Amino acid sequence: MEIDIGSKIKGIRKEKGISIAELSKNSGVSAGLISQVERNAVNPSVATLWKISKSLNVSIGYFFDEEEPVPEFNPIVKKDRRKRIVTSDSNATYELLTPDLNRKIEFLYITISPGDSSRAGLISHEGEECGIVIKGKLMVKTENEEYILEEGDSIYLDSTVGHRYINLGEEECISLWAMTPPSF
């Protein structure tokens, strides 16, 4: 699935009458990076996209919405029709288990290869989340603690506390996560 995030950022920025310099000041993202993202020269990290979306007063999910009209809402997401979210700052693969990103809760199927992590550093965002490990062994690292989860173990997190996921096992780690409000 090809998503043109740059054009969407540029479009909403222009629609709101905001210059790149103003967006840079409001978001804390450099004007040069915003320009590169708008031209699709680089893919933004989740953290960068989060800052830009907050400054433009849209959800981060806005940038991943498909533009094709959907005839009617279908609450079922077939296994082979899941939307995949791959970000430049993450080694994890995120699959959306909800029909779209316009819900009050986000439900994700996250796959992390052995030795990899969800991202290099800790990330925090509004809300709360909980997850369960379906396969493998996962470390959930927060600002204050490290938790080791094995198959069947679950955890609740305050999402405002910095966190990341690390696969400690020798096999692929698969986990299911619910987040509210949605963070993508």
Q: What is the C-alpha end-to-end distance of the chain, expressed in Å? A: 16
Region 17-42 average pLDDT: 91
Q: Does residue 34 carry a pLDDT above 50?
A: yes
How far apart CA 137 and CA 173 sit, in angstroms, is 6
Q: Which fold has domain 79-180?
A: Jelly Rolls (2.60.120)
pLDDT band per the 50, 70, 90 thresholds, residue 163? very high
20 contacts: CB under 8 Å, gap ≥ 6: 13, 31, 34, 35, 38
Q: How many CB atoms lie within 10 A of CB 73?
A: 7
The DSSP line for 76-139 is ---GGGPEEE--TT-SSEEEE-SSSS-SSSEEEEEEE-TT-BS-SS-B--SSEEEEEEEESEEE
Q: Where are the domains of the chain?
A: 5-64, 79-180
How far apart CA 170 and CA 175 sit, in angstroms, is 15
pLDDT band per the 50, 70, 90 thresholds, residue 65? low
How far apart CA 159 and CA 177 sit, in angstroms, is 12
Answer yes or no: pTM beyond 0.75.
no
Region 31-59 average pLDDT: 88
Chain centroid offset of residue 94 CA: 8
Question: What is the β-pairing status of strands 106-112 and 146-150?
Answer: unpaired
182 closest CA partner among 60, 12, 86: 60
5-64 and 79-180, same CATH topology: no
Q: Which CATH superfamily is domain 5-64 in?
A: lambda repressor-like DNA-binding domains (1.10.260.40)
Predicted pLDDT at 66: 59
